[in-house]
Structure 1
């Protein structure tokens, strides 16, 4: 393993000079700094994490706060987590994952220690109890999600309102006049989770603008619930020809349920979804979908946080536009 003394010998300086160059505690001439940096690159030297933290008064650890509440689809959440961890490592940071539903108390416990330099917070609710503390903390934070009032916060997410709108407009252009949103489990709406509320807003606004008959149906994330919902929709909305699904686990069970009830997808019923591309592509009938850009959101949230840690200005709001990919599950309305 390459040591700081090896770098010093290679660069022709003392070990303390290398230390000063790494920590920035004392001024080093540009020529000497460049020589040290060249030696570090050539030898592949990596400063010890503890030494870096001591020198910079940083822990080089980010907290990722993901309360795994009921109704949350864990596989998609973990895509965000993996993206954050991967991006953080590129910035030489580790990630402390906090999954308990601890609210403000959990945030305060972490913030009152030297465990982490900054926080990324997920599963943001419209009226989130954690917001006053996040605004008051002396540590930078980034929210993946948007509350009703984002003033004084840095937020990033897919534009879920535009995503709901995009799905409805795709169906409207295909001639569908009666559409339904099959949404997240009921408890997600009870908590006023931001992304779920915004999909409803976009769906409703677009349906109204196009003069469509529309309805909204929260649904538990089980095959049995999907079957019961399919039966209910056919019973209550016999003119239904277009469906938007914002509930990843029921996308495939729902299509199977409709087909078992005698509807052909997309011949009789067009189905769109807001979900990861891999899910949409792997169903027996590939589903027209707006992708969940977990990798991009996670990477950009870390980049925002690192810029804040470096004292740089960042935008308060970053909304990623939806990208809809048409696949085999949608077609013009029959008749």
Structure 2
């Protein structure tokens, strides 16, 4: 069996000292940028994992779990304007851990170096919205670290250690609501991350439309584009002259951009187009008219995630999948009597 890569191996490959490797991977020292990058690339190439505590230097659990927010890893910022779901989720996870005398460590993308020194020595992880073929999950499995995900893992149908609401079920619920309120040409606007939220919502939409003989219209825009992405999606929906009479848009920032673009074109909401967002945000609440949206209830999600991780997954038992409910907040962009 091949032994694990050591810090000496990295130093030899990068032609530097062991101290230089330690400083480079921990973000310390005054190394030249080129030298630091060379060391990081060598460590990545060799698969070096700087986790001394995980190699037996501690005798028991740290009492710390990690939290990774994969959508923010891919977004390029951890402070997206108006998006409060992840702030609420983080705070709720912290409170649930405090109730169990545990601490929480927020961790960036573990698949990228340098990693925090203790990242692979924590007691377990909660991974929010993992990606398809997510390297983070492979890394955690290789390190024998227990984890639970918020949202299904797209390419691991047999993986059951997840909590969250049903993305496909929420999509059908919104489509049925819009149909009941008179919509016949419903478009779907999604993000581009390959996570279950986008993938399952799209699959459910196509199935729903096909079963009813309706034309499917899907527009995808990168999550990082925010409101500008929503404006771009709206222009695409307008381009062929066939205006949809309803739009289900997964992200709140995109939804606000759609509303603003339609309004500037003289299109009334909900008179001509109904609009529902798949995630509530500051943009959906403060718009005029205010946008109907789903409250994903991150506090409830956090409670179940921490409970399942600490009471089952970390002691080697599979999680018990729980179907979590979401709350639809009906505002001014949906027509008809308030119900649902």
Both structures adopt the same fold (TM-score exceeding 0.5): yes
Structure 2: distance between partners of 1:105 and 1:194: 28
Aligned to 1:66: 69
Q: Is the 8 A contact 2:147 2:309 kept in 1?
A: yes
Structure 2: distance between partners of 1:249 and 1:101: 27
Structure 1: distance between partners of 2:63 and 2:202: 39
Q: Is the 8 A contact 2:63 2:101 kept in 1?
A: yes
Distance 1:182 1:117, change over 3 A: same
Aligned to 1:235: 239
1:128 and 2:134 aligned: yes
Superposition pairs of residues 67-86 of structure 1, within 5 angstroms:
67=70, 68-71=72-75, 74=80, 75=83, 76-86=85-95
Q: Which range is displaced more, 297-306 or 95-104? A: 95-104
Structure 2: distance between partners of 1:108 and 1:129: 19
1:207 and 2:209 aligned: yes
Deviation string 1:129-184 (CA, Å, 9 cap, x unpaired) is 34445446544321112113243551112211111111111111112111111111
Superposition pairs of residues 1-335 of structure 1, within 5 angstroms:
57-67=60-70, 68-71=72-75, 74=80, 75=83, 76-100=85-109, 102=111, 110-111=119-120, 113=121, 116-135=122-141, 137-147=143-153, 148-151=155-158, 153-184=160-191, 186=192, 188=193, 192-220=194-222, 221-276=225-280, 280-308=284-312, 311=315, 313=317, 315-331=319-335
Structure 2: distance between partners of 1:86 and 1:213: 45
Q: Which range is displaced more, 258-267 or 55-64? A: 55-64
Partner secondary structure for residue 233 of structure 1:
helix
Q: Is the 8 A contact 1:258 1:264 kept in 2?
A: yes
Q: Which range is displaced more, 86-95 or 63-72? A: 63-72
Q: How many residues align?
A: 271
Distance 1:182 1:119, change over 3 A: same
Deviation string 1:49-108 (CA, Å, 9 cap, x unpaired) is xxxxx9992211111123433347843333322221121111111111111352699599
Deviation string 1:252-293 (CA, Å, 9 cap, x unpaired) is 232121011011100111001111266543322222222222
Distance 1:140 1:252, change over 3 A: same
Structure 2: distance between partners of 1:127 and 1:289: 29
Distance 1:290 1:126, change over 3 A: same
Distance 1:308 1:65, change over 3 A: same
Deviation string 1:4-37 (CA, Å, 9 cap, x unpaired) is xxxxxxxxxxxxxxxxxxxxxxxxxxxxxxxxxx
Q: Which range is displaced more, 317-326 or 159-168? A: 317-326
What is the aligned-residue RMSD (CA, Å)?
3.0
Partner secondary structure for residue 177 of structure 1:
coil
Deviation string 1:229-273 (CA, Å, 9 cap, x unpaired) is 322212225241000111221222321210110111001110011
Structure 2: distance between partners of 1:105 and 1:305: 26
Q: Is the 8 A contact 2:289 2:332 kept in 1?
A: yes
